[in-house]
Structure 1
């Protein structure tokens, strides 16, 4: 093992300072330990072992400097270091273990950088001793850089894909790993091609070591990938959600609505669940002092056979809607709405407004034991019925391979008593989703919705346009 000399310590300190400075540069901070160690190893200009020691010293210096900087920031921010009798010991223990792991990782990466830096310095010394060959050396430089860049790209992509089941933004972890691999390939390749006849490097040993690292790394990635796939499968859940919204700005009497209902081959499990178990939520005005518990509306629900097919009926003798008038009030830190009498309301005053509590949302959800076919739900998954003249259209957004969009005609029935200036919004929406954990919750879905806005009293049947979107999101196969 190389001796820890004064020169080695000096070079390590220089590399540590350089690496610490680079740690404040966005993106570069991800590979700052490697670069700092590389500077130390290059200055050492010894064999790979000497560069490794210099890089390790640089890693220790960087860890020490980062600890000091962190302590100063904490002291400046909080006025004292976060240690005291009320500090949870478990939290401190976890923080200490994480800090130790980060420090060891930093020293390891800096050591690798030091070894690579010393090899690069050795290649330059060999060129200076040999002289000539300028044109050939430039071709070697270009070839080494290309090999390093390709290695960087491949390793980064593979590691990011493997780790995405565990880490959100896995690319941030993959980038430094790919950079280390790319730098290693570029420098080792360059050093090997420019080696002299009396090179002191044991290239056979280096080759065996490289093969061993590649094999172990590949096995490790394969194991992690298998665990990630297993985790995704265990966390996967498939659900349907059927939601109906009725919103009115004035009171309705003797109201009955027929809305599209999900069906699969003539069966409507979601519709039956809706009739038996549905609960509704009602929006209440966000005004200080306003009544946030209005009287419940006695809705009734049933599946009915109509001239257009089976539909869901929602009825109520009376849907009482209350209006609330308010003005916006602000102080230095926040704003809120406070109620005002109707007589004080001025429509031309932008700080005043009016809201109502006439929005009702009805929803039911159901889980599926099987993965939902969100890319092609036709004939196998529930869809809103009735549907007429379904045609494919261009999607407004999304460019995934399986992503497709459709439009169709459907029907809504509405009868109710109301003033002529009443506005009633009616919608039905169906979602089928597959979700799993891949660093964060992700998945795919199909969704469709049909909605319309009616003016005045309800007059019976209305033609409504529906929209269907399939194959949206991410797929694991």
Structure 2
């Protein structure tokens, strides 16, 4: 017959094994496993813009796509107050409504500029299917998705005076990222990029290609 001490050891060991097994199983359920394991991820959106001209341009106005979803842009809402890279003659203004939000950027003259924002999301970001459930650069036109390679068209407005052979490259990088720690640091993310190169003076809307790279990182909560 087992003594009381041995019985306690066996019961404790069995309990530990059961708890470990439940934690292991919960880890395979994403994102529901966060609640089961008592984990609160940190989720953030980032928005970063680079404008590079081969020579100085003047009378500058751009309407640049912003990441948005369900009438909200986390990075756009506080970009003037908390964003980086503004000033030195660069002015910004949030324009549009619903999912057609844009960042108006204006300056008397411009040669190069780099600005953006990083903002906390109040909800977990869907990094597996961001085109349907997360804030991406909009508007979205003619979206295609082949084997995880998502591409679409969007629009950039540009108005400025420039030499006929002046080129202006605009690169917009947006991303969504979730980070958490469960015994070790883990994360997952998606990236969304728009690039366009313009030549000569501009005064209107231009079509730009956009890409989404999704499903990066951990989508199982490992122990």
Tell me the alpha carbon deviations over residues 233-252 of structure 1, each in whole angstroms, 9 at most, x when there is no partner: 65731111122221223212
Match of 1:260 among 51, 65, 86: 65
- The alpha-carbon deviation at position 470 of structure 1 amounts to 2.2
Spell out, residue by residue over 1:97-140, the C-alpha distance to the aligned partner (whole angstroms, 9 max, x if none). xxxxxxxxxxxxxxxxxxxxxxxxxxxxxxxxxxxxxxxxxxxx
Give the Å deviation of 1:221.
Answer: 9.9
Among 200, 208, 211, the alignment partner of 1:464 is: 208
Asked if structure 2 preserves the Cα contact closer than 8 Å seen for 1:233 and 1:436, the reply is no
Say if 1:475 and 1:453 are closer, same or farther in 2 by CA, change over 3 A. Answer: same
In structure 1, distance between residues paired with 2:169 and 2:45: 23
**What is aligned with 1:278?**
83
Give the structure with the larger helix fraction.
1
Q: Which residue of 2 aligns with 1:150?
A: none
Give 3-state SS (helix, strand or coil) of 1:250's partner: strand
Alpha-carbon distance between aligned partners in 2 of 1:265 and 1:457, rounded to the nearest angstrom: 35
Find the partner of 1:299 among 66, 82, 90.
90
Residue number among 119, 122, 136 corresponding to 1:366 in the alignment: 119
Contact kept in structure 1, 2:128 and 2:214, CA below 8 Å = yes
For 2:44 and 2:209, locate their aligned partners in 1 and report how far apart those are by CA, in whole Å: 25
Secondary structure at the counterpart of residue 279 of structure 1: coil
* CA shift digits 1:19-64 (9 cap, x unpaired): xxxxxxxxxxxxxxxxxxxxxxxxxxxxxxxxxxxxxxxxxxxxxx
Change (3 A) 1:273 1:265: same
Larger Rg: 1
Match of 2:144 among 379, 391, 412: 391
Between the two proteins, the alignment pairs up a number of residues equal to 201
- Any conservation in 1 of the 2:74–2:119 contact (CA below 8 Å)? no
Partners of 2:149 and 2:133 lie apart in 1 by 18
CA–CA distance in structure 2, aligned partners of residues 410 and 224 of structure 1: 47
Structure 2 Cα separation of the partners of residues 237 and 272 of structure 1: 19
Distance 2:168 2:186 in 1: 35
Structure 2: tracts of 5 or more residues without a match: 1-8, 28-33
In structure 1, the residue matched to 2:194 is 450
Match of 2:164 among 400, 420, 427: 420
Residue correspondence of structure 1 range 151-170 to structure 2 within 5 A: none
Question: As a proportion of its length, which structure holds more strand?
Answer: 2
Report the secondary structure of 2:145's partner residue: strand
Aligned in 2, Cα 1:241/1:464: closer, same or farther, shift over 3 Å?
A: same
Partner of 2:135: 382
TM-score, with length taken from structure 2: 0.75
- 1:316 Cα shift? 0.4
Task: State the Cα distance separating 1:301 from its structure 2 match.
Answer: 1.0
Shift of 1:304: 2.6
Tell me the residue number matched to 1:157.
none
Q: Structure 1's 235 and 224: CA in aligned 2 closer, same or farther, altered over 3 A?
A: farther
Aligned to 1:317: 108
Q: Equivalences for 1:344-359 in 2 at 5 Å?
A: 358=112
Inter-partner Cα distance in structure 2 for 1:267 and 1:367: 13
Q: Do the aligned partners of 1:297 and 1:318 also contact (CA within 8 Å) in 2?
A: no
Distance in structure 2 (CA, Å) of the matches to 1:221 and 1:422: 68
> What does 1:3-402 correspond to in 2, within 5 Å?
219=16, 234=39, 236-280=41-85, 297-305=88-96, 309-319=100-110, 321=111, 358=112, 360-394=113-147
Task: Give me the whole-angstrom Cα distance separating, in 2, the residues matched to 1:261 and 1:273.
Answer: 12
Structure 1: 5+ residue stretches without partners: 1-211, 282-295, 322-357, 395-403
**Paired residue for 1:291?**
none
